[in-house]
Structure formats: structure tokens, C-alpha cells
Chains A and B, each alone.
Chain A
Amino acid sequence: MTQAPTVADSRPANQLTLRLLVILLLIFGVVAGCIALVAQAASHNARRQALAEARTYFAARMRELDDAWRADAFTARQEVELWLSDSRSLDDAAIDDRLRVFLTTKLSHSEFASCAIDDGEGNLLFRYGTRSQDVTDIALERRDAGTGWAFSSKDRTVYRVLSGTIRYRRQPARMTLYVPIDNAVLRAMTYPSAHLALVHNGTRVAFTDGSGSTARASGRSPKGQEETADLSLAWGESPVAPVLKIDRDFVAPLSAAELALVMAGGAASFVLIAWLVLGRWIRSQTRRLFLLQRAASEFSSADRQPGDGVRLIDPDVTGGDDIGRLALRLREMMLRLDEGQAQRARASAALAALNASLEERVDARTRDLQAANEALEGSAEVTQSISRQLRQLTREQQAMLDNDLIGIVKVRDRSITWENRAIDRIFGHGSSGLIGKTLAVLHPDEAVDRSVQGAADAAFREGLSFRRQLRMVRHDGTLLWIDASSVLLSSSRVESMWLLADITEMRATQSELEQALFRAESATRAKSAFLANMSHELRTPMNAIIGFADLLHQGRVKIDEAKRHTFLGHIADSGRHLLQLINDVLDLAKAESGKMEFRPESLDLKRLVN
């Protein structure tokens, strides 16, 4: 017996649900991985491009600053020359005083922090600036080239050194100006999301942070979604030039951790929604599939009982969707198979019963046959008598077929296969002249043939015989009236027998009779019409006679003699007219009966015509 699915039975359904969820998660994971890779590639490209832009910008900015400082140093030397142009009469101390006055303003309003003048051989002549910018602590590079670098260990400051020749104290001298590459300079190199540091011999000597904090010394950003890229650019081509380190912050749309978090959240939401929204459906579908599977399994089991498996396909399983249609088809198939099996079982049972009774019947039949055989053997004379009767009957039938009045033909598949002798007499095609031909040769034209065949076929299809009087044609072209009747001998072989009686003479006689009848009927109708007219002709004078006679006889009307005479005159005229009519009728009767006698008399033709 089939049982309803139990909790244990739902295990495959749960496994299927689990597999579906795992597949969904795998798909989600692959998509998420692709998104992550694309995002990472995009972020990497953006970062690389931003770094290239930053490199270009800072390289140009350093060149601009260098150019500006050179120009300022040149201007400052020119201004010093001008400032000291009338100092020939002054002693050196006075010249130095004047120069200090100039530099006090100049250094306050330029990038230069200090100024030194030497004799070109390194012997210091003049220095102005704050005490901390001690020139002895500064190592100059390429002083003779006009530009170089210096570092003050006391100030921990890198200086851009710009030298040029002036006349000082009435002799050529070299004036050197010092530009501190400090935080202010780096701050002037404004660039978005960039933190700058100037590194000299591995030591950070300036930075744009400005706080003095070392929090950003590592260049790492505290924020998770930000990434920092380090970029180092040497300030010029000198090997002792400081290096500008740029920490470029990149705020990625999503950091790897955030992306992973979002993906995990998305996956969790996806699974939750799938479980809440699709889980029920999936479980329902899997249960239906499972029931179908069980139904098929039970149906195919060796020890199944009728109805096993079919009962599992309940209305919950069937439905309008694919699974439902599959279930319905499976159910129908099972039912048909069950029915087939039942029929086979019934047939087997009947066959067994038949087999069981067959021997008895065979025995009984054998006995009957033996008895009949014995009886037949005992009545050989009866058999001979029957044979004779059959032969007699056959001869009579052949005589009937060979009659000379009605033509008979057998037609198979529209071809005439047999004819009797009367056919040759009626149609004149010779003995067996129509064998192999169709009945079309007997019809006046093909249209008649088609019509007759169609009518005959229609009658045969309804199980009726065909009979019709037809115009047919003899071999010599003479038209005949034939009374044709046909019966279907075999529907499978389309075999029919046609009886063709020549009624040409009968139809002629019939036609003459019809014409005679028509003439008699016409005469009768003429007499009737004559009598109808005559009755009126007779009554009119009769009424006049009777009317005038009554008036005269009853005396109700007082009339004078003249009028009486007139009345009698009317009666006499009407009587004569009536007599003439009667004579005419009698003449007609005579004429009809052939007793009219004609006598020659003279008459006035003119009067007759008028």
C-alpha cells in the first residue's frame, strides 16, 4: 500500500533545496568575485593614473619654483648692486650697514631666509640672517654653478642655494641667497589628497602636515577605505638633492574589506530572501518532484498492486505548470497501463476458461461429427438427390441468366466482366463484345455515364439498389430506353450486377397513350366549357320567357294592350332564340356522333357575313 510522504521521505527534498542554495551561493560568489576583480582593476588603474598625474604636476611645480627662485635671486642681486651703487665713498662697515637695511626688508618679503657674500674663494665678507642659519653648518653643492643645495643640521632645514656675482666693497664678490625648503614651501605646492614630505639623507625635514606630528610619517592612512601610494621625486638632477615624497591618498569607492562586507551582506540577504520567498516554492516543487519520483518508483516495482503510484499523484502534485503537466501525463500513462494490464488479465482469464472448456467442446463436437458422419453415410441417397436438385437449380438459374429479354452484366471495378446473351441482342455489340469495357460505351455521352455511376455509387453506399430508366445507345447509334437496375454484389471488390431491360417499345406505346389521353382530356375540357357557356345562353331567353309570362299571368301589373303585345313579342323572340340554341346543341351532338347530314342549300353570303 502506498503511504503519505513522511519526514524521512522529505530528506531528498531537503537535499535538493540545499543543492539549489549552494548553487545560488556559488553563482553569487562568482559574480561577487568578478565584481571585486573589476573594482580592484578600476581602482588600480585610477590609482596609477592619479600617480602619473601627481608625478607630472610635482615635477613641473619644482621646476617652476626653481625658476622663480632663480629669477628672484637675480633680481635681488640687481637690487643690491643698485642699493650700493653710491657707496664708493663709504667704508666697509657703512656698506655692510646699508646692505643690512636693504636685506631687512628684502628677506622679510621674499622666500630667502639669509644672505652671504664671499670673495669667490670661500672667504666670507658679509652675512645676514638669523643666527640659527649658521653658514658653517651648511654644505654647499655646485656653488660655482649658481645653484645648489645646503643642509643646516641645526635648523634641520634644506636650503636651495642660489649664487651670483656682484660688486661688493669695490671688488667682485659672490652673493648667495638661501631659500629654506620648509613646510611653507611644501604647503604652497597645493595638490588634492596629497601629503608631502621633504627627505634629506633619509630624514624627513619638512612636511605639509604642519603639526610636527609623526603620525603620518609612515604614509599610511588611518581610514580603511583609503589607500596611500608613495611617490618619490628627486628635486633636480643633483645626487645630493632632497627627495620629495608624496603620499597620495586614494579614496576607493569601496575598500576590499568593505567590498567583502557588502558582498557578505548581499549574500546573506540573498539567501534570506531566497529562503523566505523562494524556499517555500522550492520545497513545494521538490516535494512534487519527490512524489513523482516515488510514484514512478512504486509503479515500476515488481510487487506493485493496481493503483500503486497513481494515488501519490494527487491534486497537489498536478497543476498547470510543467511539473503538473508531467504529473498528469504520468498519471494518464499509469492509468492506461493499469487498464491494459487489467484487460490482459481478463483476456488471460477468459482464455484459460476457454481452454478449459475447449476440450469438452472438442469432445462433444467430435461426438456430434461422428454421429453426423454416421448419419451421412446412412443417407447417401438423400445426398445424391440433393445434388441433383442443386444441378437442376443451377441449370434453371443459368437459363434465367441466359434469357433473351433482360440483359445482365457483371461489373467489377467499372469494367464489365460478364454478359448474357440478351445484351448482345439489345445493344448489338456481338457475343461478349462488352467484356473488358465500361458501361460508358452504352451511355450517349460521358455526362450521363458520370451521373449514372454517381447515383449508383450513392445508392450502394447507403446499402440500396439502383434503378432508373435511362437513354442508352446501341452499337449502331440507335437510342434506346433501358430500364436499368443494379445491385452491389461485393463492396470490397466493387462488384455489381446490372439488369438492363429494353423498354423502348413500351415507352413508345406509353407515349401514344399519353397523347391520346391528353386529347380526350382536352375534348372533355372543351365540352365542359361549352356547357358552362351554354347554360348561360339558355338561361337568358328562358328567364325572359318565364318573367314576361309571369307578369302576364299573375296580373299584378296593369298593362295596356300595347304593352301586353310587346311582352308577348319578347316571349316569342326568346322562345325562338332558345329553340335555335337547342338546335345548335343538337347539331353539335350530331356532329360529334357522326350523324350530321350535310345538305346543299343556297344562302345569301352577304347576309351571312354581316
Chain B
Amino acid sequence: MLPRGARAQGAVLRDAVLATPGPASSVSLIPELAVAIGADRTEGLAVRIKFVSGGGVAIRELLSGNVQFGVFGITAAMNENLRGDSLVALAAVENLALLSLMVRSDLRPVVRRIEDLQGRVLGIHSNSLATMTNGQQFLMLLLRQHKVSTDSVRFVAAGQSWESQSSALRGNAVDALVSEEPFSSRLEQAGLAYRLFSVGQNGESTTLPGVGFLRGTLIARRSIVDAQPDLAQRMVRTLQQTLAWRAAHSPADIVSALGLSGDEGSAFLAMLKGNPTQFSPDGKFSDAQLLQTETFFRESLGNTPESLRYRVGSMLADRWAGHKP
């Protein structure tokens, strides 16, 4: 745990509400850890986490004013900004997108390639006309790369939690789904699904364009940052402290700090051990990674004119988090 700072002692904590898909997901790890280790209170904040079923819902919460911050995929925020430049990225949180396309176990004999998914029911984080999550973008890119038409498959929402994804697979509601660590490992360990395609796992490299894109990012409404820069700065510092704490501690300490146990804890521990570079150590934005992010964003949207015109640099508010090559 972080020592209580002098500023926090006896001071009135300022409320800050943050939405993130979870709980106990890779993208919600850092916010949960920040609360767990008291990094928010060190900065004079009392962060409340509002767990949502996916990045799309998190965006909705941001835009509706229910929350001031969100940690989710930056490409989902970029997609939202195509309709209006309302969101900004404050800090890099998760460097790797540990996404996997998991296929229900009983389909192992018949689904061996991406192309075999034609006619199948595919689970995505959330099924919305208005939003597109990181996992959905990943799935679209994967299908396009393997010449699988989106009209030849059916999409249903499978959520972004262990509960929803496991239930969808157990109930045969989906044939395959996009999952992210540590849920994909748990699904595999539980024998519910097998991994058909993965990115960013254990240094695994694939031919997927923009595969090194920035995943979890601290996002806020631009109006909030403009109106309350002090609050945004404190939130950035909170996450930077948490990222630094995570880099300085062992996976076991992190799992312990989060209070995870059982299968959930084990999966988390495995994820952290297998992917030591998964999280940013300092919250700084990397130019190379942003380039990868733009590539992934354009490819996932089929290089539409809007996506080609959009520059991720236009939504960066990195005066507190910083920048690096």
C-alpha cells in the first residue's frame, strides 16, 4: 500500500467517478489497483469505479455525465470522436491488447481456421449500433483479413466479464467470442473454449496490422478537462502512481492487493507473469504505439475516408502524462 500523503491526511477528498469494463478485467486492473493501494487518496481523490459491460457503455456513461473518466480502449474513443471531437486521452494504461478469439470447445473438430466461422454466432463485448469496442474492432479486422464477410456471421453481445462470457459459451449462445485476458485463459482452463487466434500474448507476433496498438487508456470528456484541469491532473497522477507501483511489485503482490483468489486470482497471476510489458510503466504516450493504433483503427474500419482522415494526436491531452518516442 501507498503511504497516506500529507495532502490526503485530514483533507476533504474529491469525488471522481471512473467507468471501466469489468470487474477483474485486464483493462480495469489499474483503476481497481489504484483504489486498492490508495493512490487516489494520495492525490486527494476518492475514486469510485463504475463497472460496465464494455467500452461502448463506458463511452455512454462518459457522455451522459455519469462518470468523469473512463479506462478502456482508445480506438473505441477514436471511433466515437468520428461523430464529434468530445473525448480526449489523458494517459496510456495498457500497452498490450491481450485479445483472443475463443471458440467453443465442442467445435474444435470443425472450426480450425478463421474461415470456418462462416455461419457461426460470434460473441462480442457489446452489440450496439452506436459504439464499437476494441474487441469488436479486433474481430472485424480479423474477419476482413480472412475474407469472412460480416454478413455471413451473426453477432451477439457476450459482455466483457467472466460471468457473461462463460455463460454465453456454456449456454451455447455463442460459437465463438472475443475475449481478453485473463478471461480467455480462464475459459481455456475451464474447458469452455479454445484459442483460435490471439494477439499480444507472450510476445507473440502476428501479421495483424497495427497489432501493437494502445489498449487501455485514461479517457475523459474534453469539456471536463477544460473545466477542471486540476481534477484531470490528479487522475493522471493517480494512474501514474499506480502504474509505477505495479511495475515495482510482483504479480503476486498485485493479485493480493486486488484481493483476487481462486480461479480468478490464478488467471490474473498467469496473465501478469506472462505479460510483464502489458501495462505502461509511466502512463506516457509512445509515438510508435500511436502509429500502430492509427493503423489498427483504420484497418478495423476498412480504411474508410473518416478513419483515414482521423489523427489520434488530435485527441491527446498529454501535458500531464507526457510523451515518448
- Asked if A109 is an interface residue, CB under 8 A from chain B, the answer is yes
User: Is B168 an interface residue when CB atoms closer than 8 A count as contact?
Assistant: yes
Q: Is the CB of A97 within 8 A of B48?
A: no
Contact B228 A213 (CB under 8 A): yes
A-B contact pairs, 5 of them (CB 8 A): A101-B173, A105-B127, A131-B22, A209-B65, A211-B223
> Are the CB atoms of B65 and A210 closer together than 8 Å?
yes
Q: B310: which A residues are within 8 A, CB to CB? A: none
Q: Which residues of A contact B23 (CB under 8 A)?
A: 130-132
CB-CB under 8 A from B49, the residues of chain A are 132
- State whether B156 touches A94 (Cβ < 8 A): no
Check A98/B227 contact, CB under 8 A, given A104-B157, A183-B66.
no
Chain A residues, Cβ within 8 Å of B51: 130-132
Which residues of A are found within 8 Å of B159, using beta-carbon distances?
100, 104
Q: Is A108 an interface residue (CB 8 A)?
A: yes
Measured CA separation A131–B16 after assembly (Å): 18
Contacts A104-B164, A108-B57, A109-B128 given; 12 further ones with Cβ under 8 A?
A93-B170, A97-B171, A100-B168, A101-B164, A108-B157, A132-B50, A154-B48, A156-B48, A182-B66, A183-B66, A184-B65, A206-B66
Interface residue total, chain A, C-beta cutoff 8 A: 31
Docked pose: A104 CA to B51 CA in angstroms = 13
Contact, CB under 8 Å: A182 / B163 = no
Please measure, in the bound complex, the distance between the C-alpha atom of A97 and the C-alpha atom of B57, giving whole angstroms. Answer: 22
Residue of B nearest to A213 (CB): B228
10 closest Cβ pairs, A-B complex:
A210-B65, A184-B64, A130-B51, A97-B167, A100-B167, A97-B171, A183-B65, A101-B173, A104-B159, A105-B157
Which of B48, B64, B167, B173 is close to A182, meaning CB atoms less than 8 Å apart?
B64
Provide the residues of chain A in CB contact with B301, threshold 8 Å. Answer: none
Residues of A within 8 A of B217 (CB): none
B171 near A98: Cβ-Cβ < 8 Å: yes
Q: Are B16 and A212 in contact (CB under 8 A)?
A: yes
The 8 Å CB contact of B15, one of A93, A154, A209, A212, is A212
Are A94 and B52 touching (Cβ within 8 A)? no
**B274–chain A nearest beta-carbon distance, Å:** 25
Instruction: Fill in one digit per residue for A29-45: 1 if any B CB lies within 8 Å of its CB, else 0.
Output: 00000000000000000
What is the total of A-B residue contacts with beta carbons within 8 Å?
A: 100
A445 at the interface (CB under 8 A from B): no
- CB of A4 to closest CB in B, whole Å: 74
> Nearest chain-B residue to A207 (Cβ)?
B65
In the assembled complex, B291 has its CB within 8 A of some CB on chain A? no
* Chain A contact residues, CB within 8 Å of chain B: 93-94, 96-98, 100-101, 104-105, 107-109, 128, 130-132, 154-156, 180, 182-184, 187, 206, 208-213
Q: Are A94 and B171 in contact (CB under 8 A)?
A: yes
- Tell whether, in the assembled complex, residue B227 and residue A213 are in contact, meaning their CB atoms are under 8 Å apart: yes
Q: Which of B22, B66, B128, B164 has the most CB of A within 10 A?
A: B66
Contacts of B15 in A (CB 8 A): 212
Q: In angstroms, how far is the closest chain A Cβ from the Cβ of B48?
A: 7
B156 CB contact (under 8 Å) in A105, A182, A208: A105
Residues of A within 8 A of B224 (CB): 210-212
Q: Is B79 an interface residue (CB 8 A)?
A: no
**Do A187 and B64 contact each other (CB < 8 Å), given the known contacts A108-B54, A132-B51?**
yes
Question: What sequence of 0s and 1s flags, for each residue 66-82 of chain B, a beta carbon within 8 Å of any chain A beta carbon?
Answer: 10100000000000000
A-contact bits for B116-154, CB 8 A (1 contact / 0 none)? 000000000011100000000000000000000000000
How far is A154 from B126 in the complex, measured between Cα atoms in Å?
25
Chain A residue with the shortest CB-CB distance to B60:
A184
> Which residue in A98, A130, A155, A206 is a CB contact (below 8 Å) of B167?
A98
Q: Is residue B231 within 8 Å, beta carbon to beta carbon, of the partner chain?
A: yes
B242 at the interface (CB under 8 A from A): no
Cβ of A382 to closest chain B Cβ, rounded Å = 146
B17 at the interface (CB under 8 A from A): yes
Whether a CB of chain A sits under 8 angstroms from the CB of B53 is yes
State which of A105, A109, A128 has its C-beta within 8 Å of the C-beta of B163.
A128
Min CB–CB distance B315 → chain A (angstroms): 19
